[in-house]
Structure 1
Amino acid sequence: MRKSIQRLGIVILSLSAFLTIGYFTPRKWGNYSQADCTISLYISNQGIHTEIIVPVKNEYFDWNQFLPLREIGRDANYDYKYLSLGWGDRAFMLETPTSGSINPVTAFKALFLLTPSTLHVQSYRVVPQNIETKCVKISGKNYLMLVNFIKNSFQLDAAGKKMKISYGYGNSDSFYEAKGSYYILRTCNDWTAEALQKAEVNTPLWSTLSSAIIFHLNSGCEGHK
């Protein structure tokens, strides 16, 4: 019995050490600066979940052409400047507007079963000030790589259209069908990290925790944090 407890302790300590190293270890080392960093992105940390905030329109891409703003929320005023996009477990995201309303059963299923996913799309007139955000600057070329990753995360119907599941928590957001299954080895924050990697933004080796992503965020542009 004592040996079993000791072995379990060793496994727990080894796993903790491995995850700690992954948390603090970046995927890129040294100088990996991008050229022509003209696009600002914002990554929001909502406690346990991250989302990517992009400009609605710039010289490289117009999100209104891909995802009409009038279809996103109930708000009749469509003068939005930013979109926040995040991927995650469908049941968990639809049922959990705040971290204080987590259903333990839903959370367990999300972590340990292969569950359907969703994309949450939130419209903003300004970058939100009531949640933690961190800005990174990237090149136009890498921005298009990120845009394509996000676009390809939407599940389309036979006619090639996005499929809305429902309106969201307020008047300016909605949930859409997404590709892929959610489980403990591919979480909402792993999706964010994958998107940022497409844009050559540094991310941690272990990206399951939202704080790990925020810790490593750097635009890759000289002098910009």
Structure 2
Amino acid sequence: MRRAFVIAASVTGGVLAYPVAGVVGGLIPSNAGWAPPERGITIYIESNGIHTGIVMPKLAAGVDWREDFPARDLVDPRYGALDHLSIGWGERNFYIGTPTWADLKPSVVLGAAVGSDETMVHVDHVPRPAPDGEVRRLVVRPAEYRRLAAYVRASLVPGGERHPGYFRYDVFYAAHGRYSAIHTCNAWVGNALRFAGIRVGAWTPFPGAVMRWFPRYG
């Protein structure tokens, strides 16, 4: 009984400590000395309340995303004419098996939290985002943009699986990386920004830990 109590207490303590650690990690700055340039490449960080993603122009700073994410991969290639991409990363079963929140199953959430080596990059072909409460706008230097692009490209499995998205303008691509409660979709966004040299939280498992670092757009 004592052993069972110790195990239960440890699990409970871990569950309770996780959100606190996530908030604290999101408050500690990485690249603390970074400041946006007066001129540069405009990118956006967006959130749906659960996931965050990075919205980038298809052509900027010598980066051409049209070769990585061609229009022919879309159900409707006409959306390939749009000039921005929204890019996120996450667990395969969670992504593909949850087209709407009504489809969310506890088993999928638990499986993702415990850990999964099956991950995917989700790419939407979109126009430039309009001002919105869940969108943040920031300006980065060309070199920072190229590092951000390098991080995204390193997450892709060359020649890997392509899976149709939820709509006619999005696609899933096989990705590298292990998803877990530590390395979440939001942590991936934070890691990408940190790798680029942009100021963001030291650990960003939750959307708020990412979004808080950037001013509202509009």
What is the TM-score normalised by the length of structure 1? 0.81
- CA 17–33 in structure 1, closer or farther in 2 if over 3 Å, else same: same
Q: 1:47-196 alignment to 2 at 5 Å?
A: 47-127=49-129, 132-157=134-159, 163-196=160-193
Query: The residue matched to 1:184 in structure 2 has which SS?
Result: coil
Distance in 2, Cα, partners of 1:38 & 1:164:
34
Letter in 2 for 1:25: I
Letter in 2 for 1:203: V
Could you tell me whether the CA contact under 8 Å between 1:203 and 1:213 is conserved in 2? yes
Distance in 2, Cα, partners of 1:164 & 1:131:
34
Could you tell me whether the CA contact under 8 Å between 2:22 and 2:209 is conserved in 1? no
Distance in 2, Cα, partners of 1:168 & 1:14:
35
How far 1:137 sits from its partner (Å)?
0.8
Letter in 2 for 1:89: E
Query: The residue matched to 1:106 in structure 2 has which SS?
Result: helix
CA-atom RMSD in angstroms? 2.9
Given candidates 178, 188, 206, the residue that maps to 1:209 is 206
1:25 matched to which residue of 2?
A: 28
- CA 77–25 in structure 1, closer or farther in 2 if over 3 Å, else same: closer
Runs of 5+ in structure 1 lacking a partner? 158-162, 219-223
Distance in 2, Cα, partners of 1:111 & 1:17:
17
How far 1:68 sits from its partner (Å)?
1.5
Could you tell me whether the CA contact under 8 Å between 1:85 and 1:121 is conserved in 2? yes
Query: The residue matched to 1:66 in structure 2 has which SS?
Result: coil
Deviations 1:155-209 (A, max 9, x none): 013xxxxx34311000000111111121112111111111101222222123100
Could you tell me whether the CA contact under 8 Å between 1:138 and 1:199 is conserved in 2? no
How far 1:131 sits from its partner (Å)?
7.5
Distance in 1, Cα, partners of 2:178 & 2:18:
24
What is the TM-score normalised by the length of structure 2? 0.84
- CA 37–98 in structure 1, closer or farther in 2 if over 3 Å, else same: farther
Runs of 5+ in structure 2 lacking a partner? none
Letter in 1 for 2:97: E
How far 1:77 sits from its partner (Å)?
4.7
How far 1:103 sits from its partner (Å)?
1.2
How far 1:46 sits from its partner (Å)?
1.4
State the identity as a percent: 25
Could you tell me whether the CA contact under 8 Å between 2:190 and 2:203 is conserved in 1? no
Distance in 1, Cα, partners of 2:164 & 2:41:
29
2:48 matched to which residue of 1?
A: 46
Distance in 2, Cα, partners of 1:20 & 1:173:
31
- CA 202–100 in structure 1, closer or farther in 2 if over 3 Å, else same: farther
Distance in 1, Cα, partners of 2:130 & 2:102:
20
Could you tell me whether the CA contact under 8 Å between 1:80 and 1:124 is conserved in 2? yes
Letter in 2 for 1:44: E
Could you tell me whether the CA contact under 8 Å between 2:79 and 2:126 is conserved in 1? no
Distance in 2, Cα, partners of 1:165 & 1:201:
30
Distance in 2, Cα, partners of 1:128 & 1:36:
21
Letter in 2 for 1:116: E
